[in-house]
Chain A
Amino acid sequence: MIWSGLMIYWADSDKGLVNGVYRIGWGQTTLFHFFPPGFWRALGLEFGLARGMSWHFFFVWFFAINGLLYALYLIISGEWRLLVPSRRDFVGAFQVVLHDLHLRKTPPPFVKYNPAQRIAYTLVVLMGGASLVTGLAIYRPVQLGWLTRILGGYQWARWEHFWLTMGFVLFFVIHVLQVMRAGWSNFRSMIAGVEIKETPEGTHDKP
């Protein structure tokens, strides 16, 4: 989705359009423009608007149905309880960050996902839904005009859709770095579904 999305973004990435959506800036001032011409050239993403759109509106069904099934699974299985953060987790997440930065000796106690993971994983599911909604507002801004207006209009919906995507990229980068940091046993648990941890002597549950 992101790859085809980039092919769509390219068509409106003209540096001459100072008020374009894909930039960091305000009014006539642009601090950073998405993306420099070399970026598009290096990835071969130029002149692919038609292809990008056709892929985007093909794979969106996989994205939407997959996301829907995942959300349904979380609800039906009750697994959402392991995922949705409580108010306490916002403090916990801060402690996790301090621990990761070696500013704190121990991580806060948790089950399966630590407080920072709970917040990040819940957020990314919500972002997926938001991408779908903002995408629909861009796809049919007349037929779904009420939706587009709620989101602040056509160009704002495009801005929101873009920054949600940047959020996914940020999530992905941190996710991969953290997996690499956590080591083999954790990675295996992601694939196999189980992980073995040594428990201190005498704390085993007695059958």
Chain B
Amino acid sequence: MTNPEPNATPDPSAPISEDERVERELRRRSRRGFLTAMLAGAAAYGGWRWLMTRPAIGDVPWPIRKMLQFNERVTGKLVSPNHRSREVPAATITAGGPRINGDIGLESDMELEQWRLQVAGTNLALRMEDLLALPAVTETIPLNCVEGWTTVARWTGIRLADFADKFYPAARKKAYVGMVTPNGQYYVGLDAPSAFHPQTLLCYAINNEPLTMAHGAPLRLLIPTKYGFKNLKCIGSIQFTNERPRDYWAEQGYDWFAGL
């Protein structure tokens, strides 16, 4: 019997030893295994390159931003007045007052007497006395910074929900709340369930003292269900809207929702 292409296919009738058969099978499986591993590695690298070269939304490649928004939808469902940040004993209050960690939007020469709280889209311009007419709420509660640390204080203020009910009831039908400092340099956006959460305060006193300038005098936001960067200091105006408000840190790559 003659074979025109002796190397093309092994002649099945040719006797091969058991050792050789095993050796061939091992080579075949090794080749397949290493090829698969290399392809998987190349695919992972290609996928990473693709991901990192996508156009950015708020300084984050869009597939990642979409995933953050997906995470927000999944976990945002959990926000309800029943999920409260737990109050802590007075003994755990951070000595020397809560840590000061940002002054964006603050101005040291602000005239407190001139300050009014504006509600965007209305002609409301409220003075401190107007706000003090609402029931005072005090919470001894930790504030968690996105950097990882925690600071505890006794915060006093009025509920944002009470504020809306009294001065602008239509606000409760809106999907979002935005806040801006008087100079417009710092701004945050909040989802309505978090904003109208009973622990969310327009805060005017820390540890029984009026706010200092560094803590956002005369009025700041306390929202313990969000990272610290959502707790805007020195509120100039509040906006109740159905369009997602701009957020200072979300524009710089952080999650917009930033919930805890």
- Distance of A18 Cα from B249 Cα, bound (Å): 27
Chain A nearest CB from B89 CB (Å) reads 13
Closest to B80 in A: A143
The yes or no answer to B129 lying at the interface (CB within 8 A) is: no
B79 — which chain A residues lie within 8 A by C-beta? 143
Minimum CB–CB distance for A44 against chain B, Å = 15
B184 lies within 8 A of chain A by Cβ = no
Q: Which of A145, A149, A192 contacts B30 (CB 8 A)?
A: A192
How far does the Cβ of A161 sit from chain B's closest Cβ, in whole Å? 11
Among A11, A51, A144, A155, the residue within 8 A (CB) of B147 is A11
Q: Do the beta carbons of B30 and A158 come within 8 Å of each other?
A: no
| A8 to B142 CA separation, bound complex (whole angstroms) | 20
**Assuming A8-B148, A140-B259, A196-B22, is B83 touching A54 (CB within 8 A)?**
no
Establish whether residues B33 and A191, one from each chain, have CB atoms under 8 Å apart when the complex forms.
yes
Given contacts A143-B259, A143-B260, contact A57 B67 (CB under 8 A): yes
Number of interchain pairs (Cβ within 8 Å): 91
With a cutoff of 8 Å between Cβ atoms, the chain A residues found around residue B75 in the complex are 139-140, 143
A17 / chain B contacts, CB cutoff of 8 Å: 149
Does residue A58 face the partner (Cβ distance < 8 Å to B)?
Answer: yes
Q: Is B166 an interface residue (CB 8 A)?
A: no
**A61 at the binding interface (Cβ < 8 Å):** yes
- If A55-B64, A57-B255, A158-B148 touch, whether A142 touches B225 (CB-CB below 8 Å) is yes
Partner of A12, one of B34, B63, B84, B147: B147
A54 touches B259 (CB 8 A): no
Q: Which residue of B lies closest to A195 (CB)?
A: B26
Contact with A along B68-81 (1 / 0, CB 8 A): 10010001001100
Contact A192 B148 (CB under 8 A): no
| B132 CB-CB contact with A under 8 Å | no
- Assess A143 versus B78: contact at CB under 8 Å? Given A55-B64, A57-B68, A154-B144: yes
Q: Is B32 an interface residue (CB 8 A)?
A: yes
Chain A, range 138-179, C-beta contacts under 8 Å to B: 139-145, 149, 154-155, 158
Is the pair A191, B37 in contact by a Cβ cutoff of 8 Å? Answer: yes
Which of chain A's residues have a CB closer than 8 A to the CB of B173?
A: none
**Chain A hits for B224, CB < 8 A:** 142
Bound form: Cα–Cα A145–B68 in Å = 21
Closest to A61 in B: B67
Please classify how large the interface on chain B is, using the bins under 10, 10 to 19, 20 to 34, 35 or more.
35 or more
Q: Which one of A12, A20, A139, A191 has the highest number of Cβ atoms from chain B below 10 Å of its Cβ?
A: A191
A1 at the interface (CB under 8 A from B): no
Interface: A194 (CB within 8 A) = yes
Give the distance in Å from the alpha carbon of A155 to the alpha carbon of B225 in the complex: 16
How many angstroms between the C-alpha atoms of A9 and B252 in the bound complex? 19
Whether the pair A192, B253 counts as a contact (CB closer than 8 A) is no
Q: Is the CB of A54 within 8 A of B32?
A: no
Q: Measured between alpha carbons, how far is A8 from B33 in the docked complex, in Å?
A: 36
With a CB–CB cut-off of 8 A, which chain B residues contact A6? none
Does B188 interact with chain A (Cβ within 8 Å)?
Answer: no
User: Can you name 16 extra interface pairs (CB under 8 A) apart from A142-B83, A192-B26?
Assistant: A20-B149, A50-B59, A54-B255, A55-B64, A61-B67, A139-B75, A142-B84, A142-B224, A142-B225, A142-B260, A143-B79, A145-B84, A191-B37, A192-B30, A192-B32, A194-B26
Give residues in B with beta carbon < 8 Å to A: 22, 26, 29-30, 32-34, 37, 59-60, 63-65, 67-68, 71, 75, 78-79, 83-86, 142, 144, 146-150, 224-225, 249, 252-255, 259-260
What are 20 residue pairs bridging A and B, where the CB atoms are less than 8 Å apart in the complex? A51-B60, A55-B64, A57-B71, A58-B63, A58-B68, A140-B75, A141-B260, A142-B224, A142-B259, A143-B259, A145-B85, A149-B86, A154-B142, A154-B150, A191-B34, A192-B29, A192-B33, A193-B29, A193-B33, A194-B29
List residues of chain A with CB under 8 Å of any chain B CB. Answer: 8-9, 11-12, 17, 20-21, 49-51, 53-55, 57-58, 61, 139-145, 149, 154-155, 158, 188, 191-194, 196
